[in-house]
């Protein structure tokens, strides 16, 4: 076994690898960029070596510099984590040339799977089932279009070098083909330096089921069950689980053996994941093989009781796999939720910020938090905005899901917008509880997961109003314990004017609502418009005890970046108080959304200055955090001028263009 390894990565995965190495008595060397000087992975490692400036291209993607660092520190092997250089065959080869072990598969296997189209040709030859499509070298747009037309819409354009959903576009009809192709190519070129595309038949209701495989140097290969990663947004995984709901022993064996055969077809070694689309009728198609550890590997660890990083290290050191196929046992059910600094209500736009307050749920045998950040750290524009992976396990899916909801409600993050509420809504909504999974889940159940149904509002607004009042009273009594005459101190009523009614404006479900809460001893009567709700409630710390029409329930109240979230059994309710005298800016106006959402680069202007446009017309594309973001007309109006040109760098918040709304349309907003 190695004495010392270098981890060519950052964030949670670097920390994750360091933990196992430490447990195995292996010394660790971290690498870091300017932005990560004080990062957790640097602190955790035994040694750390500076490799360059903040942008990944000037640090974590510089294979030569990382290899130099390994040689300088005397590391015998390099663990690449995921992302960055993990699937870079050139880097793996350079390691071999310098006698440093690359903890991953042989170079040839990475190369074989590096191109989605070449991989498909190899798999086809090995008898692995494929989604129908065009994987050819001829990239003439007319040929790509003809292939799409021949197989029939909808089709999916994919960057052959792609990953993480980047460089991928659905096309539903011929008229959208050219625009989608141009966008997919631009994104792919920016992310992977290559814009070769393949065209595939788009399956409309598949599940994403992937098999974890492992091969050693003695010809052994096993599969460690599967993961269901069907819940995705923009083709990126959001919540993963293992095992896949409804999986039968027979189908698992068939998919598992196919996956191991796929790995053997390319003489694979180490950890790999074979991704399949599983259709409703039980047929499955090879999508791609990831030649590295996956982000979601912890769910497999939780149900198998194995440490996959340890397996990787053993295989890389030339040892056999710890278990034979029949010794692999699975137990219980695990979920992983990816906690991101992003705004689900704004098309999941990544958000930056300083994590001013960070309190993850307590870890125990059921709850695991894999993270690379601490309170006070910054989520910067340079890297992926993932804050943590929250992993839970229990004996059954139902109980594990309950654990997930509880842990999400207990997660406290201040200083940036996060997707916690969104994850909670997902974890608690009926179709997810009942495992009605397919890759279109989020789009199909948008009203549930974005929690925007009128009945949710009617149920939640009175609770939000009461929570606001109780929080004020709690804050008041806490902040002025020395003032026995404070109107808040009594905790039950503001007795200055009869009846004891408190009026405020609550912003909830994207609207302002005037509410009145009347307090009669322990009873609260909440009025909003012509609706009246009677409830009882008590706030103890962040635990809100409620009684609505004789139904007692408990909820959790969390203070967030811009208000509160109330975690209820049926979903998360986000709200804040609108203070009228502060004259809050009107964000519903025509200019909303025409500012750069974050630091980035202008990629393309899609409208002519001076032209009239319909609501929702794409006006401009910018790139930030390696993703393209399209800025659209909020209402019908006229584009007067663009303030930037393609290639220009813009700061977050900068106004991008001069836009005048048509007044008639603007009024409808």
Written in H, E and C, the secondary structure of 44-75 is HCCEEEEEECCCHHHCCCCHHHHHHHHHHHCC
Q: Which is nearer to ligand ADP, 18 or 159 (CB)?
A: 159
User: Quick one: how far is CA 519 from the chain centroid?
Assistant: 42
- Catalytic residue list contains 292: yes
Rounded least distance, CB 155 to ligand ADP, Å: 8
Q: Which is nearer to ligand ADP, 121 or 201 (CB)?
A: 201
Rounded least distance, CB 445 to ligand ADP, Å: 15
Q: Which is nearer to ligand ADP, 10 or 208 (CB)?
A: 208
Confirm if 132 and 151 have CB atoms less than 8 A apart. yes
Site for ligand ADP in 404-463 (CB under 6 A): 439
Rounded least distance, CB 207 to ligand ADP, Å: 8
Rounded least distance, CB 228 to ligand ADP, Å: 10
Rounded least distance, CB 329 to ligand ADP, Å: 27
Distance between CA 594 and CA 614 in Å, rounded?
Answer: 15
By three-state DSSP, how is residue 452 classified? coil
> Interface with ligand ADP includes 148 (CB under 6 A)?
no
Q: Which is nearer to ligand ADP, 254 or 443 (CB)?
A: 443
Of the listed pieces 6-14, 159-167, 350-358, 489-497, which binds ligand ADP according to CB under 6 A?
159-167
What pairing do the DSSP bridges indicate for beta strands 221-233 and 207-215? antiparallel
- Lay out the site mask for ligand ADP across 216-235 (x = CB under 6 A, - = otherwise): ----------------x--x
> Interface with ligand ADP includes 168 (CB under 6 A)?
yes
Of 48, 203, 215, 405, which one interacts with ligand ADP (CB under 6 A)? Answer: 203
> Interface with ligand ADP includes 603 (CB under 6 A)?
no
Count Cβ neighbours within 10 Å for each residue of 298-332 and write b for 16 or more, e otherwise: bbbbbbbebbbbebbbbbbeeeebbbeeeebebeb
Tokens describing residue 417: 């917008």
User: Quick one: 479 exposed, middle or buried, by C-beta within 10 A (0-12, 13-18, 19+)?
Assistant: exposed
Rounded least distance, CB 268 to ligand ADP, Å: 18
Residue among 354, 426, 356 at smallest CA distance from 390: 426
Rounded least distance, CB 443 to ligand ADP, Å: 11
Site for ligand ADP in 26-55 (CB under 6 A): none
Q: Which of 292, 338, 368, 403 is catalytic?
A: 292
Of 55, 136, 165, 332, which one interacts with ligand ADP (CB under 6 A)? Answer: 165
Radius of gyration of the chain (CA): 27
Can you list the alpha helix ranges (DSSP code H) found in 357-453? Answer: 397-410, 420-428, 430-433, 441-444, 446-449
> Interface with ligand ADP includes 202 (CB under 6 A)?
yes
Tokens describing residue 460: 């939640």
Q: Which is nearer to ligand ADP, 133 or 571 (CB)?
A: 133
Site for ligand ADP in 244-283 (CB under 6 A): 275, 277
Site for ligand ADP in 182-201 (CB under 6 A): 200-201
Rounded least distance, CB 399 to ligand ADP, Å: 27
CA dist 340 to 86, 143, 352, 574, 633, Å?
A: 22, 39, 10, 17, 27
Of 81, 106, 206, 350, which one interacts with ligand ADP (CB under 6 A)? Answer: 206
Residue among 443, 447, 302 at smallest CA distance from 364: 302
Tokens describing residue 112: 């074989």
Of the listed pieces 203-211, 366-374, 483-491, 640-648, which binds ligand ADP according to CB under 6 A?
203-211
Name the DSSP class of 363. P
| Helix (H), strand (E) at residue 574 | strand 571-578
Distance between CA 598 and CA 626 in Å, rounded?
Answer: 12
- Lay out the site mask for ligand ADP across 279-308 (x = CB under 6 A, - = otherwise): --------xx--------------------
Q: Which is nearer to ligand ADP, 421 or 438 (CB)?
A: 438
Distance between CA 62 and CA 470 in Å, rounded?
Answer: 54
Distance between CA 369 and CA 391 in Å, rounded?
Answer: 6
Confirm if 350 and 421 have CB atoms less than 8 A apart. no
Site for ligand ADP in 108-147 (CB under 6 A): 131
> Interface with ligand ADP includes 164 (CB under 6 A)?
yes
> Interface with ligand ADP includes 502 (CB under 6 A)?
no
> Interface with ligand ADP includes 626 (CB under 6 A)?
no
Angle (CA) 594-596-600 rounded to 5° is 150
Rounded least distance, CB 597 to ligand ADP, Å: 22
Query: Tokens 């910054």 label which residue?
Result: 378
Q: Which is nearer to ligand ADP, 208 or 502 (CB)?
A: 208
| Count of positions on this chain that bind ligand ADP (CB under 6 A) | 21
**Backbone angle region of 151, left / alpha / beta, with phi > 0 → left and psi within -120 to 50 → alpha:** alpha
Count of CB atoms within 10 A of residue 178's CB?
A: 12
Interface ranges with ligand ADP (CB under 6 A): 131, 156, 158, 162-165, 168, 200-203, 206, 208, 232, 235, 275, 277, 287-288, 439
Task: Give the residue numbers marked as catalytic.
Answer: 292
């Amino acid at each position: 076994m190695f004495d010392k390894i270098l981890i060519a990565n950052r964030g949670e995965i670097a920390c994750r690898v360091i933990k196992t190495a430490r447990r195995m008595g292996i010394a660790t060397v971290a690498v870091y960029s300017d932005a990560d000087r004080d990062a957790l992975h640097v602190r955790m490692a035994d040694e750390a070596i500076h490799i360059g400036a903040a942008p990944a291209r000037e640090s974590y993607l510089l294979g030569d510099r990382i290899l130099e660092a390994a040689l300088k520190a005397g590391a015998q092997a390099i663990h690449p984590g995921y992302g960055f250089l993990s699937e870079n065959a050139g880097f793996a080869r350079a390691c071999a040339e310098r006698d440093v072990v690359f903890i991953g598969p042989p170079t040839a296997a990475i190369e074989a799977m590096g191109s989605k189209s070449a991989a498909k040709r190899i798999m086809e030859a090995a008898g692995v089932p494929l989604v129908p499509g065009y994987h050819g070298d001829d990239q003439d747009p007319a040929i790509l279009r003809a292939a799409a037309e021949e197989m029939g819409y909808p089709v999916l354009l994919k960057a052959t070098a792609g990953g993480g959903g980047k460089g991928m576009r659905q096309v539903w009809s011929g008229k959208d083909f050219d625009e989608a192709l141009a966008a997919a190519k631009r994104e792919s070129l920016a992310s992977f330096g290559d814009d070769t595309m393949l065209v595939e038949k788009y399956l409309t209701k598949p599940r994403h089921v992937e098999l974890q495989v492992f091969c050693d140097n003695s010809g052994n290969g096993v599969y460690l069950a599967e993961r269901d990663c069907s819940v995705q947004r923009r083709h990126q995984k959001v919540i993963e689980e293992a095992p896949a709901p409804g999986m039968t022993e027979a189908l698992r064996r068939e998919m598992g053996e196919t996956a191991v055969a796929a790995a053997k077809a390319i003489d694979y070694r180490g950890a790999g994941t074979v991704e399949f689309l599983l259709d409703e009728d039980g047929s499955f198609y090879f999508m791609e093989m990831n030649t590295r550890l996956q982000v979601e590997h912890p769910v497999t660890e939780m149900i198998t009781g194995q440490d996959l990083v340890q397996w990787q290290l053993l295989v890389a050191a030339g040892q056999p796999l710890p278990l034979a196929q029949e010794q692999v046992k699975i137990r219980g059910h695990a979920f992983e939720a990816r906690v991101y600094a992003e705004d689900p209500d704004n098309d999941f736009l990544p958000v930056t910020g300083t994590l001013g307050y960070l309190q993850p749920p307590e870890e125990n045998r059921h709850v695991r938090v894999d993270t690379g950040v601490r309170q006070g750290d910054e989520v910067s524009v340079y890297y992926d905005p993932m804050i943590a992976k929250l992993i839970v396990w229990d004996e059954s899916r139902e109980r594990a899901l309950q654990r997930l909801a509880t842990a999400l409600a207990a997660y406290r993050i201040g200083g940036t917008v996060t997707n916690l509420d969104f994850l909670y809504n997902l974890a608690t909504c009926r179709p997810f509880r009942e495992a009605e999974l397919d890759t279109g889940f989020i789009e199909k159940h948008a009203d549930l997961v974005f929690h925007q149904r009128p009945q949710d509002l009617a149920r939640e607004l009175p609770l939000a109003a009461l929570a606001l009042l109780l929080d004020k009273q709690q804050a008041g009594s806490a902040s002025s314990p020395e003032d026995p005459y404070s109107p808040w101190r009594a905790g039950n009523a503001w007795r200055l004017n009869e009846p004891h009614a408190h009026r405020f404006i609550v912003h909830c479900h994207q609207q302002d609502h005037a509410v009145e809460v009347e307090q009669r001893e322990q009873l609260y009567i909440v009025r909003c418009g012509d609706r009246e709700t009677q409830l009882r409630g008590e706030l103890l710390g962040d635990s809100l005890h409620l009684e609505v029409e004789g139904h007692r329930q408990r909820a959790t109240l969390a203070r967030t970046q811009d208000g509160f979230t109330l975690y209820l059994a049926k979903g998360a309710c986000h709200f804040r108080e609108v203070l009228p005298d502060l004259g809050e800016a009107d964000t519903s106006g025509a200019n909303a959304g025409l500012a750069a959402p974050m630091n980035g680069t202008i990629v393309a202007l899609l409208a002519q200055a001076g032209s009239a446009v319909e609501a929702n017309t794409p006006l401009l594309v910018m790139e930030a955090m390696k993703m393209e973001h399209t800025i659209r007309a909020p209402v019908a109006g006229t584009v007067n001028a663009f303030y930037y040109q393609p290639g220009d760098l813009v700061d977050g918040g900068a106004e991008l263009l001069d836009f005048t709304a048509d007044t008639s349309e603007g009024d409808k907003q």
